[in-house]
Chains A and B, each alone.
Chain A
Amino acid sequence: MANHIKIKKGLDIPLQGKASGTTADDRESALFAITPDDFPGCTWKAVVKAGDSVAHGSPLLIDKASGTITLTSPVDGTVKEIHRGERRKIEFVSVEKGVCTDKADFNTSTEREQIRTTLQASGLWAMMRQRPFDIVPEAESTPRDIFVTAFDSAPLAPAILEDSLAPYLEKGLEILKRLTDGYVYLGVRAGSDITSRVAEVYEFEGPHPAGNVGTQIAAIAPVNKGETVWTLDAETAARIGKLYTDGNLDFSTVVAVTGPEAKSPHSVRTIIGASLKTLLKGAVAGNDTRIISGNVLTGVKETADGFLRYPYRQITLIQEGEHADEFMGWASMNPRKFSVKHTFPAFLRGLTKPYDFDSRIKGGHRAMILSGEYDKVFPMDIYPEYLLKAILAGDIDKMEKLGIYEVAPEDFALPEFVDTSKNELQKIVREGLDNLRKELS
């Protein structure tokens, strides 16, 4: 019997456009890209040039500091472009699918040091995160525990573990167990049939953010000052398992195309970093659409020419709405305006009927006025408002005392959604974590 934890605080945002059960195969995509910004905490250096032939699993980018953590090519083919932005910062490295006679080989010996080397070389290391700081785990770090979440509770999120990878999860957890002297924890949705012999399985019940690994850590064993834990999703764990079972690095993924602006929400089987141009062909309903790679809370805005971004599971299409020109919105009785506060008549519809949100912030930026707003959707033993104020004030001592080591920006996504004062909370936390890391290094 798994341990059962009930999360009471949180919110399932009723967003329109849940993906249907059908999964199409993406046969057309020929261009794939890896975006270094998705992997914070490292300084990435390209190790290939445009025109180089690369094998699936061979390095594209390498972390300057460690010299071992790499981001690898998801397909066989040729490097098409190393796209640079301001100050020659690498924005993405794209690879055109083709043939490559080489093959990337990985040592699958199961000693701790060798596992670290293999994961760092294969690109799977970079798909994990470390707390504190919410960054790619430092090359030399040994975690107190490793937390794996097997479900995503964000709006319209698909299942994390699709059928083809599911059998490899246990092997992956076994490999992870060798990397820590502590426990490997697996967080599953209550009622799920996922089990494990090597990991401590915890069932979570309740609204989003129950599936966030941060919520699960807070409920199981919070991070203390001086401790490091690693976090990853079950898909990455299963990819590790597959690498150690049959030597194959599997970068295939099933992406849910969701949201109110998706013509027919469905899933597509493709490869990580796929080009959105082919992936979304004929899938977008309107012309004023915001394409989000990821979910509406933590995803990144992409252009129609962009690529599928980490964690490579979901695309959400919503209306941009910048020409809405809503007349006297503060007096609106529109039943399509969602608020958790019941100040709009929409609450009479109940939470079950989905809404077609657009990307407007629907108000002006203000100082924090209402109290207790964040707490209602923040299931950790932390005072979010006080932590945010400490970050804004740059008070490192206070940040430590108030629990900054336990949080990641994604934990502040729901508070940011409900915030009446429309503050950019995730950005504040990200900058706070980055500054803290700089100060401490």
Chain B
Amino acid sequence: MKGLKQRIDKVKPQFEKGGRFSKLHSVFDGFYTFLFTPNETSRSGVHIHDSNDSKRTMITVVLALLPCCLFGMWNIGYQHALATGDIDHSFFHLFFYGFWAVLPQIVTAYVVGLGIEFIVAQLRGHEIQEGFLVSGILIPMICPVDTPCWMLAVAVAFSVIFAKEVFGGTGYNFLNVALVTRAFLFFAYPSQMSGDKVFVNLGDMPAADAFTGATPLGQMASSGTSEAIMTGVNGLPLSFHDIFFGFYPGSWGETSTFCILIGLAILLSTGMASWKIITSGIVGAFLMALLAHNFASPLYPVTYIDPLTQLCLGGFAFAIVFMATDPVTACRTNTGKYIYGFLIGALAILIRCYNTGYPEGAMLAVLLMNCFAPLIDYCVVNSNINRRLKRAVAKS
């Protein structure tokens, strides 16, 4: 690696101020620090530092997303096979079918998002921040498989600029960038983002006779009856096993609760996500689902789903593990995290059950609580301030 380093060091001056390519400084710096950890030594304060940095943090989260991502790719192939009745294929065939279906979306998200990050870093004279490494893979995973790339590009550009960069970049945004992208798509192109066509990639092949492309929650929401059962794309009923492992259509990265649990284990064991948010979120959702189930009504057919299945369905598990725990947009105080998580869980199920216009509520619940997180923190910090004031008053 010495040779490579020497070669790069040779061209480095051209990318610095006054150099021929100084306009590409932040891009160069981004790749340089990607290849070689900066040799900067501490100048003030502590002389030694923990090895964890922003890059390692983001890579760890991407690693935690991988099981969901890989399963999702396979599941796209599997759902395609079920939908077209052409099921006689190998594991790898199904996987690569999905892989090629979503690759353009992943590339689009990264190119547009990172492109904006690079430009902004250059304009501001900052280092490139790694936040989008996670957002870039999250965004395609929470979108329907057939989302057109141009829509995705517009939505990513909108959310990176208006949800993040205008506030100062990673660490300053108050809304989760990936969810803003999803919400933008949902509200700007509603016809392409819901219904029973977008969640299953049919390719050029005709659908089989029994085909239903709606997601289980979508089927329930529009059923209008207490008798409805959730079916797979081939019209056969879904078991809890199918739902837990994620063998049903949906936004492709978030269907498998099993893979989400693997990701959760990685996040918790590396200390990258707050167990406080996740635990209270699951408790909140379970209690809300239990309440709804006890007062189930045919007006709101989703309430007939039992609480445990509710937790495994749709985007809830994915949202509570990967979205609600985004440290920048979540509550930052420990007490706040419990409140924040609980309300996300409860609101997600509340919206899902009682707003038949939206078959899933996790996205809206997290975005809404993103807005309230600073207020919750403000109250928690204020109680600390009051405690301090009281102590001073008691003394005098």
Contact = CB atoms under 8 A, between A and B. Distances in A.
A contact face: mostly helix, strand, loop, or mixed: loop
B229 interface: no
A181 interface: no
A224 B131 CA distance: 40
Nearest to A418: B50
Contacts of B384: 381-383, 402
Interface string B24-46: 00000000011111111111111
B267 to A, nearest CB: 11
How would you classify the secondary structure of chain B's contact residues: helix, strand, loop or mixed? loop
A365 B40 CA distance: 10
A364 B58 CA distance: 13
Interface in B255-269: 269
Nearest to A425: B45
Interface string A229-259: 0000000000000000000000000000000
B170 A369 contact: yes
Given A297-B46, A368-B171, A416-B46, A361 B40 contact: yes
Nearest to A427: B44
A342 B38 contact: no
Contacts of A344: 51-52, 56
Contacts of B327: 369-372
B38 A290 contact: no
Given A343-B56, A359-B47, A363-B55, A371 B36 contact: no
A111 B283 CA distance: 64
A338 B39 contact: no
A289 to B, nearest CB: 12
A197 interface: no
A362 B37 contact: yes
A366 B171 contact: yes
A370 B51 CA distance: 15
Interface residues of A, number: 76
B332 A322 contact: no
A12 interface: no
Interface stretch (A51-59, A165-173, A269-277, A323-331): A323-331
A152 interface: no
Given A372-B274, A413-B45, A367 B60 contact: no
A278 B108 CA distance: 63
Contact of A327 (B36, B272, B381, B389): B36
Nearest to A376: B271
A398 B53 CA distance: 29
With most chain B CB atoms within 10 A of its CB, the pick from A15, A320, A357, A364 is A364
Interface string B235-279: 000000000000000000000000000000000011110100000
Contacts of A346: 51
B223 interface: no
B60 A417 contact: no
A371 B274 contact: yes
B372 to A, nearest CB: 16
B233 to A, nearest CB: 39
A290 B46 contact: no
Given A330-B37, A357-B48, A383-B381, A369 B332 contact: no
A227 B34 CA distance: 50
Contacts of B57: 343, 369-370, 420
Interface in A284-339: 290, 292, 296-299, 301, 316, 318, 320-332, 337-339
B333 interface: yes
B45 A422 contact: no
B50 A369 contact: no
B170 A330 contact: no
A263 B270 CA distance: 35
Contacts of A362: 37, 49-51, 53
Interface of B: 1-2, 5, 33-57, 59-60, 127, 129, 131, 168-172, 269-272, 274, 327-328, 330-334, 337, 381, 384-385, 387-389, 391-392, 395-396
Interface of A: 13, 15, 222, 224-227, 290, 292, 296-299, 301, 316, 318, 320-332, 337-344, 346, 357-372, 375, 381-383, 385-386, 401-403, 409, 413, 416-422, 424-427
19 contacts: A225-B392, A226-B396, A292-B47, A299-B47, A324-B37, A325-B2, A329-B55, A330-B55, A338-B51, A359-B47, A361-B38, A365-B127, A381-B387, A401-B389, A402-B381, A413-B45, A413-B46, A420-B53, A420-B57
